[in-house]
Structure 1
Amino acid sequence: MKFFTRTLLLCLALGLAYADPVPQHDTAADDGALPDRCKGIEFDAITPDEKGNTFFFKDGHLWKGFHGPAQLSNESFKELDDLHHIGHVDAAFRMHDEENKDDHDHIYFFLDDKVFSYYNHSLEEGYPKDIAEDFPGVPTHLDAAVECPKGECMANSVLFFKGDDVHIYDIATKTVKTKMWPLPTCTAAFRWLEHYYCFHGHNFTRFHPVTGEVTAGYPKDARNYFMKCSDFGHGGDGKIPKCSEVKLDAITTDDSGKTYFFSGTMYMRLDTHRDGLHGFPITRAWQEVTNGVNAVFSYADKIYLIKDDQVYIYKSGAHYTLIAGYPKSLMEELGVEGHVDAAFVCPNEHTVHVIQGNRMRTVDLTATPRVVGTDVPLPLSDIDASLCGDDGVKVFKGSQYFRYDSPMILAMGRIAVEPQPITSAMMGCQD
């Protein structure tokens, strides 16, 4: 939440019109000697580093980020050439293993039968190694690789691609399961903001990292999305709105620490700021919720989305899954009726605070049936969204927010605290 106020306007400006990444950047330079990805390159590998910078590899060259000309790979990762004398990368990924800090965020490069581990662009001691030593059961001469954290896959995993096979490597158990998915032959793979992309030729295809299911409408030309090239791109120059125009419908942080905000029919992950920020349709993650939300809160590995008089409950897992029997009515699920403006659950608690107009009602989520506990007036009304965290309760109203140390102080207050206006320094909006 601490970076929410720095990023919301950037999110609104860059993301809310699109369903796929559209980084804003310069056209790649072509000086006659360096490869130009705007001419339709088939990438060898794509990976972010520990700072979130994305590298695109082709033969002995790479591109840093979504703009700029190609550079020699050995200028950034010199040992790939010095030690192995190979001018290309077969596959690469950034390790996601928060339980093992020694490996977390390291970049792994695969060249023929060898693997290189880098951190902060420095080769780790003892590398290169045989692939079989570090990743037993994974084949050599790979085509592509991509990390898949627990919550998106069933466990912290790496997806290795070779030909028609996908080798799913469990990081903790060091076991491999091999599957055949209906994908093109991937020469590179990339995870970006919880979405998975298989690159083939100058195109890419989005796929589900657990089932391999291909999303409708693919493949698409990478030049329209991952770089800006003349005669390519699906437009949409996002204008930064005025700070006085900021408005969101809901915000929540789930038990795994993922923070989402909702505006209109779009949502955005706020805790992915390292790798970029981008808006996606709510239906991409919660496909049954088709017309935006009124309120959202998280509790016990579930996320509750409220729209009109309906409550949709999704269980966390590899991806959010609607619980059987839902949606249900507000009265049946929470014991309240009428329009809900906002709702929140504080960390390690089991009470949801439901804000309706200028009143706040509490409901014990462990009780059956659900009934309203307390019903108290609030010192303000027309609240748009609310969130409870370690730093207290924040309620959002238009382009301002109000902070209270606890739900009790919010409930007992008879005079609204001084509002904190959203400013350009906080969020990059226009004053």
Structure 2
Amino acid sequence: MRRFCIKAQFEHLHHRYVVSGGLHCTRTTLCTAMKLLSNTLFLCLALGLTNAAPTHHEGAAVAEHVHDPALPDRCAGIEFDAIAPDEKGNIFFFKGEYLWQGFSAATYHSNQAFKELDDAHHLGHVNAAFRMHSEDHPMDHDHMYFFQDDKVFSYYNHTLEEGYPKDIQQDFPGIPSQLDAAVECPKGECITDSVLFFKGHDVYGYDIATKTVKKKTWSHLPVCTSALRWQEHYYCFHGHNFTRFHQRTGEVTGDYPKDARNYFMRCSDHGHGGGYRTPKCSEVTLDAITSDDAGKTYAFKGPIYMRLDQSRDGMHAFPIGRSWKEMSSGVDAVFSVTDKLYMIKGDQVYIYKSPAPYTLIAGYPKTLKEELGIEGPVDAAFVCADEHVVHIIQGQKMVDVDLSATPRAVSRVAAPLPFKIDAALCGPKGVQVFQGSHYYLYESPMTLSHSRIAPEPLPITSAIMPCQD
């Protein structure tokens, strides 16, 4: 199991929470226990996160903004030429011959990181950039593509691929030169693995597999000089501002534009200040946790949630209502079955079609009695891979409901559990159950249901998350 440094920063004025690094997680792993979220931070986030955008934290400590007057200052307000992450999740901001890595790094020349991006090719600055997402094409997956005038450069591990630069039309037929911006759009978020290319108000949707292009015009969206996908959210940068948009329609919801200096970089006079207190490990708690068949792992607390499986790009908390608008006040329990996400609140069950953007299935919500054949309330719920039984925790009781049966009803009631459970997650090594700042590991749901004595609690420590022991 790979370990990475885990870092956290809380920006008081904007109520943001970012954790960079962590353990790579999928539905088939149990490492989400190593990334529990602090109750204190969640409550603080709930105060003002509704329209927050992500920041990216590079390095174990955040440096205050120090500017060399001989170099451009992004805290003075810069319209970026391109923004893109590399294969390790480091986000690069480009302006002319300069770039910045992350939101707190100093200014340096782009050819220090990508040495071929210089005057040797007699091209202009980087017009657009993106990180390729195409798991069906592993030779291209996670490569960075840079566009300069009518040329495209492909890098992996900051090394230029043989044969590049090429004419844009060689790699991306139908895509014009002199682009303004580009951003990847994985299958599920877009219909297929795609790239969105921007030129003026025109958007070219490029299907990676078929190499076909669909052109549309988003006149309601500002002209994007750079674009970024981060944690299933899409951002158009223009001037020193940004606007979040829907990747399929270009729709903008919320109060935009916003100043990028308040969110995507650390500037002393733009939205940064004191107020962060490293929480005690004893303050950790969760409301719910789940992992779907695609490996997306979500943790929930109060009115916000965090995606846990994208440790490479860092983690960030968002309002639940941004992805599941009917659940803005929080959830009691969540579980995933095939391509559906079940969310329980009070005596109501909401079922969403996945992947993102999640869509509430017509006819929902329904009552717990109608959908699962039980009365509320529910404290936790989980489903193990390749099974059709949902294990529902109610107080110190666990009941099983066969999801393949019609009508649904309780098929088994376990003996009383040794303690109350906040949240639970099932994986190949067993069942993790969370209670406050501790977690417990059971070999299987059957072991949990027959246990009369709780196993040794495993505490959350500063070795696995940013908290004070």
TM-score in same-fold range (> 0.5): yes
Q: Look up the match of 1:31.
A: 68
User: After superposition, what is the alpha-carbon deviation per residue over 1:374-428, rounded to whole angstroms, capped at 9, x for unaligned?
Assistant: 0112432321000001121011111111111111111122222121111121222
Summarize the alignment of residues 343-354 of structure 1 with structure 2, pairs less than 5 Å apart. 343-354=381-392
Q: Does residue 184 of structure 2 align to residue 156 of structure 1?
A: no
311, 327, 335: which one aligns with 1:297? 335
Q: Look up the match of 1:90.
A: 127
The one-letter amino acid paired with 2:309 is D
The offset of 1:152, in angstroms, is 1.2
366, 383, 387: which one aligns with 2:425? 387
Distance 1:90 1:342 in 2: 49
The offset of 1:242, in angstroms, is 0.9
Q: Identify unmatched segments of 5+ residues in structure 1.
A: none
Q: Does residue 152 of structure 2 align to residue 115 of structure 1?
A: yes
82, 90, 98: which one aligns with 1:45? 82
The one-letter amino acid paired with 2:45 is L
The offset of 1:154, in angstroms, is 1.2
Q: Look up the match of 2:313.
A: 275
Distance 1:52 1:237 in 2: 27
Does the 8 Å contact 1:153/1:210 carry over to 2? yes
Identity of aligned residues (%): 66
The offset of 1:27, in angstroms, is 4.2
TM-score by length of 2: 0.89
User: After superposition, what is the alpha-carbon deviation per residue over 1:53-91, rounded to whole angstroms, capped at 9, x for unaligned?
Assistant: 010000000001111221011111111225422351000
Q: What is the RMSD of the two structures over their aligned residues, measured on CA atoms?
A: 1.7
Does the 8 Å contact 2:39/2:284 carry over to 1? no
428, 450, 462: which one aligns with 1:424? 462
Q: Look up the match of 2:443.
A: 405
Q: Does residue 374 of structure 2 align to residue 336 of structure 1?
A: yes
Summarize the alignment of residues 175-324 of structure 1 with structure 2, pairs less than 5 Å apart. 175-181=212-218, 182-233=220-271, 237-324=275-362
Does the 8 Å contact 1:89/1:110 carry over to 2? yes
The one-letter amino acid paired with 2:246 is H
The one-letter amino acid paired with 2:283 is E
Distance 1:266 1:98 in 2: 30
92, 95, 99: which one aligns with 2:136? 99
Distance 2:141 2:328 in 1: 37
38, 41, 54: which one aligns with 1:21? 54
1:387 is paired with a residue whose SS is strand
- Paired residues in the alignment total 431
8, 11, 19: which one aligns with 2:36? 8
Does the 8 Å contact 1:43/1:188 carry over to 2? yes
Does the 8 Å contact 2:55/2:103 carry over to 1? no
Shift in CA distance, 231/244, structure 1 to aligned 2, threshold 3 Å: same
The one-letter amino acid paired with 1:86 is L
Distance 2:371 2:417 in 1: 27
Q: Identify unmatched segments of 5+ residues in structure 2.
A: 1-24
Q: Does residue 114 of structure 2 align to residue 77 of structure 1?
A: yes
TM-score by length of 1: 0.96
User: After superposition, what is the alpha-carbon deviation per residue over 1:288-320, rounded to whole angstroms, capped at 9, x for unaligned?
Assistant: 112111100000201000001000000014410
Q: Which structure has the higher relative contact order (CA within 8 Å, separation 6+)?
A: 2
The one-letter amino acid paired with 2:228 is F
